[in-house]
Amino acid sequence: MALSVAQLYEVMTQLPDPVFILNEDGYYVEYIGGVEQRSYQDGNPLIGKRLLDILPIDKAQWVLEQVARSFATGEVQVVEYDLSPNEVEGINADAGPQGMQRFEGKIAPLPSLYEGKRAVAWMTRNITRQHELQQRLKRLGETDQLTGLYNRHFFFEHYHHKLQGEGRTGLIMLDIDHFKQINDRFGHQTGDRVLCSFSECVAAQLRAEDMFVRSGGEEFLILLPQIDEQILLKVAERIRAAVAAMAPDPAPITVSLGTTLVRPGEAVSAVLARADEWLYQAKRSGRNRVAHDSDP
């Protein structure tokens, strides 16, 4: 048995997720569904209003671009975007979810004209919880759980991005001297505290754009974009001195460092191998020192 037009409309108005009908000029023609009040504010007050009048200009322009792309391709466009109810003029922002929300939108061009204008159906779904879970899982996969630093996986994922731009990039490989003795004498819990204190000390010597990662055990890597050889050596020496001046419980520690500049077009494996060679040169020379590749 076929549903009547009234019954079809009744079904549409009870959809948990909302559907906006937007015309090519950026006006809200209709709002359907969206009855899940825990996920959405009521969008009915937007009917008849223009995107540019109710959204921040950058977001309104972005929506119009997606609508135009849907018309140009004739295909459904799938997008994700962030929007806070406080950014939308004309709705009751106090009802429904609060704070920045994450949405998935599906934009389908409609075959009919609406008062002579082309239009799309913009179906939206609140995916904030799923997105936050994905971000937490991503952070877990990229972060060392003890120190809070990024891990080796993150280093390789973002290495080439850090090389972009003008200027040279430096690499420092660090290893805490005689760390095994701390674990053996005082236990692994004490060793963990020392690792955390060390990480905080080194991070305090770095810029926001530097990438500091725990590559494993007591070994660490620092990638420093936009740096020359002289500054690289100064940073490495500053780190060495800061660590030597620490007073962690139960005993002082020192660190050995191998430094090098990344050569143009060089594979990451070659850079790491060279930094590792100079790190061990620092250790063979007595530890608590910086050894540098002076011919990059």
Q: Which residues are catalytic?
A: 218
> What would the two tokens of residue 16 be?
């948990």
> What would the two tokens of residue 174 be?
């660090």
Could you tell me if 260 and 278 are in contact, meaning their C-beta atoms sit under 8 angstroms apart? yes
**Cα–Cα distance between 33 and 228 in angstroms, integer?**
59
Which helix (H) or strand (E) is 173 found in, with range? Answer: strand 170-176
Give which of 34, 52, 53, 51 is closest to 43, Cα–Cα.
Answer: 34
Q: CA end-to-end span of the chain, whole Å?
A: 79
Give the strands of the sheet with 101-109, arranged side by side.
28-33, 18-23, 119-126, 101-109, 77-83
Residue by residue, what is the 3-state secondary structure of 217-252? CCEEEEEECCCCHHHHHHHHHHHHHHHHCCCCCCCC
Give which of 162, 161, 295, 160 is closest to 229, Cα–Cα.
Answer: 295
Beta bridge partners of 213: 150, 221
Whether the upstream peptide bond of residue 225 has omega within 30° of 0, thus cis, is no
> What would the two tokens of residue 72 be?
């140009």
**Cα–Cα distance between 260 and 290 in angstroms, integer?**
11
